[in-house]
């Protein structure tokens, strides 16, 4: 099975939506952005900043900027996953907005794999809001819905610390 990746148009600046569907293994690498995604089909084993992990269909997966990780399918049929990659500046601005009295916050995903059906449903909603088709007159409302869905999703999974 060849590697198949699709970059989808998105409603928010600084947020990239990617769909992967492959049995290909990936060597250790990093991303410059935060990533949160969902395994839709199959399973994978990967290294993470917290050690080796396995993610199965229905699991939410995360990666922090600069976190070394890899990935290998656990089944011959491979796996399909969706990811939202968020520019560090976008998350930094959101974290700064959440800080009180000038306290600056840093964000980090602390778990590379989460088995949580409600979180998976939140990801599906956020992904749909970010990537859904829109008419020009609907763009502002879609961007607001995408922003709210992402904040709800990320607020539940990101750890914030003072920096």
Q: Measure the CA–CA gap between 90 and 141, rounded to whole angstroms.
A: 19
Q: Measure the CA–CA gap between 115 and 117, rounded to whole angstroms.
A: 7
Q: Measure the CA–CA gap between 47 and 129, rounded to whole angstroms.
A: 30
Average pLDDT over residues 146-163: 81
Contacting residues for 79 by C-beta, under 8 A, at least 6 apart: 20, 21, 22, 23, 39, 40, 41, 42, 43, 44, 57, 73
CATH number at residue 155: 2.60.120.10
Average pLDDT over residues 79-89: 95
Q: Note the pLDDT of residue 105.
A: 61
Q: Note the pLDDT of residue 162.
A: 67
Full-model pTM:
0.90
Give the tens place of pLDDT for each residue, 4-62: 899 998 888 899 999 999 999 999 999 999 999 999 999 999 999 899 999 999 999 99
Q: Measure the CA–CA gap between 90 and 58, rounded to whole angstroms.
A: 26
Q: Note the pLDDT of residue 3.
A: 59
Q: Note the pLDDT of residue 23.
A: 95
- Choice between 133 and 110, residue whose per-residue pLDDT is larger: 110
Q: Note the pLDDT of residue 74.
A: 97
Place of tokens 């900043």: 49
Q: Counting every residue, how long is the chain?
A: 163
DSSP-assigned beta bridge partners for residue 92: none
How many separate helices (H) and strands (E) can be counted in the chain? 3, 11
Q: Which residues constitute the domain of residue 130? A: 4-162
Q: Note the pLDDT of residue 101.
A: 59
Q: Note the pLDDT of residue 30.
A: 96
Average pLDDT over residues 142-156: 87
* Both structure tokens of 4: 């198949």
* Both structure tokens of 124: 């599906």
- CA angle (130 as vertex; 96, 149 as ends), nearest 5: 55
* Domain count across the chain: 1
Q: Note the pLDDT of residue 92.
A: 78
Give the tens place of pLDDT for each residue, 85-131: 999 988 877 777 666 556 566 788 999 999 999 999 999 999 999 99
């Amino acid at each position: 099975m060849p590697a198949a990746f699709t970059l989808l148009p998105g409603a928010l600046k600084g947020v990239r939506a990617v769909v992967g569907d492959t049995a290909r293994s990936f060597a250790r690498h990093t991303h410059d952005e935060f990533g949160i995604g969902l395994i839709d089909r199959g399973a994978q084993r990967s290294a993470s900043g917290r050690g080796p992990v396995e993610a199965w269909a229905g699991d939410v997966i995360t990666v922090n900027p600069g976190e070394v990780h890899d990935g290998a399918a656990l089944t011959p049929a491979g796996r399909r996953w969706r990811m939202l990659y968020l520019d560090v500046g976008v998350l930094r601005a959101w974290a700064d907005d959440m800080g009180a009295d000038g306290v600056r916050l840093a964000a980090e995903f602390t778990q590379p794999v989460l088995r949580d059906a409600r979180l998976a449903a939140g990801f599906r909603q956020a992904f749909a809001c970010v990537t859904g088709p829109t008419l020009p007159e609907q763009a502002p409302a879609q961007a607001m819905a995408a922003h709210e869905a992402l904040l709800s999703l990320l607020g539940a999974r990101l750890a914030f610390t003072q920096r």
